[in-house]
Amino acid sequence: MARLRNLVILTGAGVSAESGIATFRGPGGLWEGHRVEDVCTPEALARDPALVHRFYDLRRAALDTVEPNAAHHALARLDAAWPGDLLIVTQNVDDLHERAGASRLLHMHGELRSALCAACGIREGWAEALPPETECPNCGMLALRPDIVFFGEMPYQMERIEAALAAADLFVSIGTSGAVYPAAGFVQTARHYGAATLEMNLEPSGGSHWFEESRMGPAGALVPAWVEELLAGA
């Protein structure tokens, strides 16, 4: 562990599950009551903006009822204490990593508490409901939409992520099913550039075989233990 300097940590819905935010897939998953193609594509947004905006309004409002859990707090502690480069790449659109105190963080699939103008591209912090045809504070067009990366759209900050993966000594994936690309391919990119790889998940993910080490269990228990282990050797 002492040779490690640069860390990239990918998080998914499993890291927020113990905070009470439903994961996407599997029993009780967020999309059990919705067809993915009804809410999570640009075509669905164009077809029924009211449905899509309402879906994300409800989830934005629900953020007020949840708190970061032990996994978020442990990662924030690691972020604050780790002397080398570190990047937390979250697929999650909740704000629990930052509320725990993490700062070396990016949201590759967007953020619930942000609105995106489909006309001018500005991203604006947004805490309230976002009805369709809300006026953009920058360009005045009625084109604000949830700032969420839908299927078929390019995730945010891919160049920065790829540079971090290329420089990583250790790539860690936490609480993600490995069902959605490009995030599901990060482990292969990291390995290609020589990083060690570790997965922490409740159960083996779709990409488990790519990881050198897998630890199975709840993130709220596994992540704090791993962070202590890592900082003890830093």
Q: Which of 205, 210, 224, 226 binds ligand BJW (CB under 6 A)?
A: 205
Per the DSSP assignment, residues forming a β-bridge with 9 are 88, 172
Rounded to 10 degrees, what is the CA torsion of 226, 228, 232, 233?
Answer: 20
User: What part of residues 50-109 is at the interface with ligand BJW (CB under 6 A)?
Assistant: 91, 93, 109
Nearer to ligand BJW, 170 or 222 (CB): 222
Stretch of 7-15, 73-81, 134-142, 164-172 lying at the interface with ligand BJW (CB under 6 A): 7-15
Asked if 14 interacts with ligand BJW (CB under 6 A), we say yes
Alpha helices in 32-157 (DSSP H): 36-39, 42-47, 49-62, 70-81, 96-100
Q: How far is CA 95 from CA 59, 64, 65, 152, 211, in A?
A: 12, 10, 12, 23, 27
Active-site residues, by number, are 109
Stretch of 9-17, 45-53, 96-104, 191-199 lying at the interface with ligand BJW (CB under 6 A): 9-17
Q: Which of 70, 116, 175, 227 binds ligand BJW (CB under 6 A)?
A: 175
Q: Which of 149, 161, 164, 230 binds ligand BJW (CB under 6 A)?
A: 149
Tell me the torsion sign for CA atoms 177, 183, 184, 189.
negative
- Least distance between ligand BJW and beta carbon 43 (Å): 12
Q: What share of residues in the chain are helix, strand, coil (percent, to 5)?
A: 35, 20, 45
Asked if 124 interacts with ligand BJW (CB under 6 A), we say no
Residues 6 or more apart whose CB falls under 8 angstroms from that of 200 comprise 172, 173, 174, 175, 214, 215, 216, 217, 219, 222, 223, 226
C-beta separation of 71 from 174 below 8 A: yes
Nearer to ligand BJW, 77 or 107 (CB): 107
Asked if 201 interacts with ligand BJW (CB under 6 A), we say yes
Residue numbers at the binding site for ligand BJW (CB under 6 A): 12-14, 17-18, 23-25, 29, 40, 91, 93, 109, 148-149, 151-155, 158, 175-177, 179-182, 201-203, 205, 218-219
